[in-house]
Structure 1
C-alpha cells in the first residue's frame, strides 16, 4: 500500500506546484509549466510501478496538468492562447527528443558513468517517441476545440466542471488510443494491449476528475493580463 499513499502525496504535490507556478507567474507560468511538464512526463513514463494490483507507468499525473493548463488558458484568455500553448508544448517535446537522441550518439569517455542511465531513460524506441508526439499533438488540439464548444453551450461560471471534464474525457481517450496503438500494437497480444490502454486511460481519467477543485482555485486567481471579455458568464 506504500505506493498508493505515496501516490496520493505525489498527486497533491503536482497540483500544489501547478497552482504555485500560476500564482507566482500568471499566464507565463502556464506556458512554462507546459514546457517542462511535456518533457518530465516522458521521462517519468520510463518507470513502471505496481499499485492496487496493477502495473502502471508514471507520468500520467503531470501529463494531466498539461490539459489543466490549456483548459485554464482557454477559460481565462481564449482559445488562441490555448492553441499557442499546445504548439509550445509540442515544440518542447520535439526539441528535447531530438537533442537528447543526438546527445546519446557522442562517444563517452572512459570515466563516464552517465551514458548507460541516459540511454535507458532517453533511448526510447522510435515508435514510443513517435506515439508520444502524435498523441500529444492530436489530443491537445482536440481538447482545445471541445472546450471551446462546451464553453458556448455551458457558459455559466459554475459550469467549469462540465467544460474541463467534458473536454478531457474525450481528448485523453484519443491520446491513450493513439499512443498505445503506435507504441505497443503488435508488440503485445490484443488482450495485454487492451489492458494497457484501459488502465492508462482510467488512471488519467481519475486524476482529471480529482483536478476539478484545483481548476476552480486556479481560475479564482486574478492577474492584470487576464482578458475578462473572453471569460464565461459569471451569472
Structure 2
C-alpha cells in the first residue's frame, strides 16, 4: 500500500477517533486527546518518509489534531479552556521528554534489547525538547488568539471554516519555522538540503491536514456529548 493512501486513511482514522473521544467524554475527551497526540507526535516526528513526492517527517497528522482540538475548545467552550489545553499539552510534553532522558541514563542489562531503539528515537532529545516546547507554546497560543480575533470579526457559524483554517495556517507556519530548524538542523540530524525539504513538506502537509479536518469541526459542533454516569 503506497504511503499516500496510508496517510489519507490514517488522517481520517485520527479525525474519527477525535470525534468519538468528544462524543463519549466531551470537553475532557479533547483534553485527553491533546495530551496523547502531543506525546505520540513527538515520537513519530523522528521518522522521515517519502510522501507526495516530498521528504516528510511523520507526526504531522497527530500534531495537526492538536490545533483542531484547541480550535474546537475555542469555538465551543471559549478561549480560557483552549489556553488551559495548551498549557496542559506544554507541561505534559516537557515532563515526557525529561522522563525519557532519564530512561536513557540507566545502564542497560546485558540481555536488554531496547536501549539502542530508545537511543535512536530519543538520543537527540535535547534538541527535540527545545524545538518542541518552544514551537508548541508559541504556535498554540498564536492559534488561540488568532482564532478568537477572527471569530470576533466573523462570528457566524458559516465562517467557522475561516476561523479554523485561518488560525491554523498562520500558527502552523510559526510552528514549522521554529521546530524544523532547531530539531533537524541545529541537532545535526539532517543536512541543510534535507531540512529545507522537510520544512516545505511539513508545512504543506500541515495545511492539507487543516483542510481535511474542516468537515469534522462542523460535525463536532453538532455532536452532543454523552453524559456518562
- Report 1:35-54 matches (<5 A): 35-54=35-54
Match of 1:58 in 2: 58
Moved over 6 A (4+): none
Give, in angstroms, the shift of residue 194 of structure 1.
3.0
Number of positions where the alignment pairs a residue of Structure 1 with one of Structure 2: 225
Distance in 1, matches of 2:144 and 2:52, equals 33
Distance in 1, matches of 2:192 and 2:114, equals 36
Match of 1:199 in 2: 201
**Unmatched 5+ residue regions in structure 2?**
none
- Report 1:99-118 matches (<5 A): 99-118=99-118
Distance in 1, matches of 2:197 and 2:116, equals 30
Distance in 1, matches of 2:50 and 2:193, equals 19
Match of 1:211 in 2: 213
Shifted more, 130-139 versus 192-201: the winner is 192-201
Cα-to-partner distance string for 1:36-89 (whole Å, 9 max, x where unaligned): 100000011121111222221110001000000000000000000000000000
For the 8 Å contact 2:138–2:175, the answer to whether it is kept is: yes
Cα-to-partner distance string for 1:124-167 (whole Å, 9 max, x where unaligned): 24223211110001000000000011110010011100100010
Give, in angstroms, the shift of residue 117 of structure 1.
1.0
Distance in 2, matches of 1:125 and 1:95, equals 12
- Report 1:72-87 matches (<5 A): 72-87=72-87
Distance in 2, matches of 1:193 and 1:46, equals 12
Cα-to-partner distance string for 1:16-48 (whole Å, 9 max, x where unaligned): 111111111100000000111000000111211
Give, in angstroms, the shift of residue 196 of structure 1.
2.3
**What TM-score, normalized by structure 2, do the two folds share?**
0.93
Distance in 2, matches of 1:87 and 1:152, equals 23
Distance in 2, matches of 1:85 and 1:175, equals 17
Distance in 2, matches of 1:103 and 1:202, equals 34
Aligned-residue RMSD, C-alpha: 1.7
**Unmatched 5+ residue regions in structure 1?**
226-235
Q: Secondary structure, in 3 states, of the residue corresponding to 2:50?
A: strand
